Amino acid sequence: MHTSRNLQFYAIIFLFLSTFTTAWPWPRWLPELDSLIVRQNSGNSSTFPNSSDPTGKASSGADKSSASFKPTPTKTLVSAGKTTTLYETAPPSTTDGRSGNKTATGTQHTSYDPRLPAGGVSMLTPAAISGQQYFKIGDYVTFGWNYTSLEATPTAVNVMATCTVNQQLYTLAANVTVSNATNAVTWDTGAYQQTALSDPLLTNIYTLIIYDAASDISATAEAGYLAVQDTYTFGMYTPQPYTPLSDFICATCNGALGPMEKRALSMMFGMCVLTVLSFGWFVNGLGVIW
């Protein structure tokens, strides 16, 4: 009997709460009753077309431009101590509608044993001597070198010179073809100086730079490939016009005695006179000499 009364009491409370909550308005902080909440699909963005491209063609592989394509390695071959990696350099072409075939282009980059050194150069001209070498601005300057530790010979190189004073980069020769183990370029500094109005050659120290034309001047050294060479330095100077000896005037030269020389001579003469007089008084006063 007591249990049935409890059940009736709970039933009345439940009925009252149901009626109260049904009449209560829908809270504003909850989504609208008729709204549709869609779960985000982060796996494939091409499933749902966006508002700017309702057809969904912008996300398809056939309509991607080659400008947004990034080369990716497709195959790696290992043979005779060197590794060759094939890179896809362009996206596959679309079907032309006639043959239905698709083609793709690619290049290969050979990776050598990382224990091998990077390629370098050894200067031949000017001859290696001790001390800094200087060249007169206006003359022809020839630089010659041979390549060392190269596993992959570059097709062409760029030869530059730089001066740290004016932060200027001078082009000696561009795309110099590499046909054998030695190379040489001749720089006409006189012709350059006549046309260089904004960035003339200065009397200072320069650095010779040699690097692969297919690479970059700031590229990282890689085993077997030519690294950027920027260790050889040389000096350049501007000659002064000839002046006959009879017309030459030395701004810092003077045949007369300077103030310091005059003071030194006066002190020496005074000490000599003082020494003679004091010695004579000493001898005569004591009667050393009869």
More confident residue, 5 or 77: 5
Question: In this structure, are strands 106-111 and 82-88 parallel, antiparallel, or unpaired?
Answer: antiparallel
Highest mean pLDDT among 98-102, 104-108, 157-161: 157-161
The pTM of the whole model exceeds 0.75: no
38: pLDDT confidence band, cut at 50, 70 and 90? low
CA atoms within 13 A on the CB side of 144: 9
Q: Quick check: 234 and 206 in contact, CB under 8 A?
A: yes
Query: At the top level of CATH, which class does the domain 120-237 belong to?
Result: mainly beta
Highest mean pLDDT among 178-182, 214-218, 268-272: 214-218
CA atoms within 13 A on the CB side of 4: 1
Q: Quick check: 229 and 209 in contact, CB under 8 A?
A: yes
pLDDT in tens, 82-94: 555 544 444 444 4
CA pair distance 214, 178, nearest whole angstrom: 12
DSSP string of 244-276? -GGG---TT--SSPPHHHHHHHHHHHHHHHHHH
∠ CA 43-47-51, nearest 5°, is 120
pLDDT in tens, 202-223: 999 999 999 999 999 999 999 9
Q: Give the whole-number percent of the chain exceeding pLDDT 90.
A: 36
120: pLDDT confidence band, cut at 50, 70 and 90? very high
Query: Computed over its alpha carbons, how large is the radius of gyration of the chain?
Result: 45
pLDDT for res 155? 93
pLDDT for res 88? 45
230: pLDDT confidence band, cut at 50, 70 and 90? very high
| Terminal Cα distance for the chain, rounded | 166
Among 246, 210, 204, smallest CA distance to 229 is for: 210
pLDDT for res 196? 87
pLDDT for res 271? 87
103: pLDDT confidence band, cut at 50, 70 and 90? very low
CA pair distance 185, 169, nearest whole angstrom: 17
Tokens standing for residue 137: 């601005």
Check pLDDT > 80 for residue 29. no
DSSP string of 35-46? --------S-TT
Count of CB atoms situated within 10 Å of the CB of 75:
11
Question: Hey, where are the domains in the chain?
Answer: 120-237
Q: Quick check: 118 and 222 in contact, CB under 8 A?
A: yes
Question: Residue 52: what residue type?
Answer: S
Question: Residue 88: what residue type?
Answer: E
More confident residue, 268 or 108: 268
pLDDT for res 64? 46
Question: In this structure, are strands 140-148 and 134-136 parallel, antiparallel, or unpaired?
Answer: unpaired
Q: What separation in angstroms does the CA of 168 have from each of 30, 116, 134, 161, 164?
A: 66, 34, 19, 8, 7
In this prediction, residues 103-114 reach a mean pLDDT of: 69
pLDDT in tens, 123-178: 999 987 767 899 999 999 999 999 999 999 999 999 999 998 998 999 999 999 99
pLDDT for res 162? 95
